[in-house]
Structure 1
Amino acid sequence: MCTLSPKSVFITGANRGLGLEFVKHFLRLANPPTHLFAACRKPDQATELTQLASENGSIRVVKMDVTQDEEIAAAVAEVGKVVGDDGLNLLLNNAGVNQQEQGIEPLTREKMNYHFDCNVTAPLLICKAFLPTLRRAADKTEFSCSRAAIINLSSTLSLINYVNKINDLRYPYNSSKCALNMVTDILAREVSPDGVLVAGIHPGWVRTDMGGPNGMIDKEESISKCMNTFAALNKDSSGLLYSYTGDIFDWNSGP
């Protein structure tokens, strides 16, 4: 397996849950990032993240609400000043929302729009904003998460046949993650010629605030295996959806 060693990483939703766990695991790499940008909406409330940053000079806590274009632009400018001509190696679109209500009765336009804004539009526009600095880091002969890559966190609940099998009725979350898969596929085809790898990953059903207490795995297992999967990605990985275990999912049929 290849070694994961990006010099610069940008993680959205890094204040808690899987995002914070990603920050911790990147710090544990044999060659941790020189610049680890940890973005969240309210840094003043991100106690554990800011404590980590005070102890590790490589971490930069970035204020960014993924639904606010001006904050995305400010984050891109901040990253650009730090990484310069080296560019950004890895963009990890981790931030997302998942309201647990099932069925059509509690559904509203606002709930659908909120999920699509956070889970689809936001990561796509963040990708667009960071593409120039990702392209600066790219090498068309080397496709990897250590060179120039975008990873979008998806879910098996985005997969039509799987959702049908378990009879999950979450309209906003499931449909928004399904749309994110399409974004990943289209973006991969557009930017692969530039040397930028784009893939999706399902981190498992994890015991977090979002995943709930009944999740099948803990954060440590999920992110440890995600990191191993990141290390193995290459040019042939672009446009695919992976499990945290490294298995590839069919976009439609599921596990």
Structure 2
Amino acid sequence: MCDLSCFSVLITGANRGLGLEFVRQLLQLSKPPQMLFATCRNPSKAQELQKLKAQHSNVQILSLDVESIISIQEASVFVKDQLKGLGLNLLINNAGNAIANTIYSESEESMHLLYQIHVVGNLKMSQIFLPLLKEAAQRGPQDSLSCNRAAIINISSSAGSITEVLGWEYGHCLSYRCSKAALNMLTRCQALALKEEGILCTALHPGWVQTDMGNSSAFVTTLKKEESVQGMLRVLSTLSEEHSGGFYSWEGKALSW
């Protein structure tokens, strides 16, 4: 049972995989978001997303490239205008990429690209959308942190856990691992800085899911995106102040950094 009940949600990378599944399942909640902003780089090519928008008036699709500050700023202006002072309750930083280079073949270009997406992009998302998150936090209950009040959720990975190094035997994926480890630190810093603003910040590991990106390695997974997102939404509905700055699996298990 998922008790998540957010007025407004924004998801990056919503054109496929986990992002698209987040949109689908949020719409199926007993209390779906009244404003659901599904973002991706090329909305015109996001056919499945466009079908959902045609069926649900609360879905807004907009162009957003996390590699571009200008794109993020333009999206924030649109979202602010739509929210009309009510604020953004939940920001899910889902957009990501993986490059299957080894420690011997890893390139400067790949390292820069994945740090730009997973670290710099998520940092800029939180900075630029912060005024809208603060508006939501100020309107919500003042004695607790929750995703229903205001939250930043960073989709990370146990592949970036220095303790676990998930799936090393199936692929080094160095730029992916290093950038996700840096994202975990960003999450900790965000939680420390934004606690007094009433904003919860948590990192989630979705599992190794059957998606285009998840199937790009030799690692064989049986976890379906539907199951992963269902679990993550259940976790989001239970997060509180004690979880802010933490790292959790799609099943709610606390993970090692």
Same fold flag (TM > 0.5): yes
- TM-score when scaled to structure 1? 0.95
Verify: 1:90 aligned to 2:107, yes or no.
no
Per-residue Cα deviation, 1:225-251 (whole angstroms, up to 9, x for no partner): 001000000011100001000011121
User: Per-residue deviation at 1:82?
Assistant: 1.0
Name the SS for the 2:165 alignment partner: helix
Could you say which residue in structure 1 is the equivalent of 2:190?
187
Which position in structure 2 is the counterpart of 1:71?
71
Of the structure 1 ranges 52-61 and 166-175, higher mean CA displacement relative to structure 2 is found in 166-175
CA distance in 2, matches of 1:65, 1:126: 10
Task: Report the Cα distance in structure 1 between the residues aligned to 2:55 and 2:129, rounded to whole angstroms.
Answer: 27
Shift of 1:216: 3.0
Q: Counterparts of 1:19 and 1:109 in 2: how far apart (Å)?
A: 28
Q: Deviations over 1:43-98 (max 9, x none)?
A: 11000001110111000001011111111001111111111221000000000111
Normalised by the size of structure 2, how large is the TM-score? 0.94
Which whole-Å CA distance do the structure 1 matches of 2:185 and 2:84 have between them? 31
- Structure 1 residue 32: deviation in Å? 0.3
- 1:34-49 map, 5 Å: 34-49=34-49
Partner residue of 2:134?
135
1:201 paired with 2:204, answer yes
Structure 1 residues without counterparts, runs of 5 or longer = none
* 2:172 counterpart of 1:169: yes
Deviations 1:17-38 (A, max 9, x none): 0000000010011000000000
Residues 41 and 63 in structure 2, CA contact (< 8 A), matched pair in contact too: yes
**Aligned equivalents of 2:34 and 2:157: distance in 1?**
30
How many angstroms does 1:222 deviate by? 0.3
* Partner of residue 145, structure 1: 147
Equivalent AA in structure 1 for residue 23 of structure 2: V
**Counterparts of residues 100-115 of structure 1 (less than 5 Å):** 100-104=100-104, 106-115=105-114
**Alpha-carbon deviation of 1:141?**
1.4
Contiguous gaps of at least 5 residues in structure 2: none
Aligned partners of 1:93, 1:182: CA distance in 2, in Å?
15
Residue 193 of structure 1: how far off its partner (Å):
0.5
- Match for 1:239 among 242, 245, 250? 245
> Counterparts of 1:83 and 1:189 in 2: how far apart (Å)?
27
Amino acid at match of 2:213: M
Shifted more, 163-172 versus 41-50: the winner is: 163-172
Q: What is the distance in 1 between the residues matched to 2:167 and 2:101?
A: 18
Sort the Cα spacing of 1:166 and 1:113 in 2 relative to 1 into closer, same or farther, 3 A: closer
2-structure distance, mates of 1:69, 1:41: 13
Distance 1:52 1:164, change over 3 A: closer
Any idea what the Cα deviations from partners look like across 1:99-152, whole Å, max 9, x if unmatched? Answer: 122232x21111110010011100111000011000000043131111100000
SS in 1 for 2:84: helix
Distance 2:197 2:133 in 1: 9
Q: C-alpha distance in 1, partners of 2:89/2:78? A: 15
Cα distance in 2, alignment partners of residues 211 and 165 from structure 1? 11
Determine what percentage of the aligned residue pairs are the same residue. Answer: 40
**Partners of 1:165 and 1:42 in 2: how far apart?**
31
Residues of 1 paired with 2:231 and 2:166: CA distance?
27
Q: What is the aligned-residue RMSD (CA, Å)?
A: 1.4
- How far 1:164 moved relative to its partner? 7.8
Q: Is the partner of 2:82 in helix, strand or coil? A: helix
Query: Which amino acid letter does the alignment assign opposite residue 9 of structure 1?
Result: V
Tell me the matched-pair count: 250
8 Å CA contact 2:41–2:64 kept in 1: the answer is yes
**1:26 and 2:26 are equivalent in the alignment:** yes
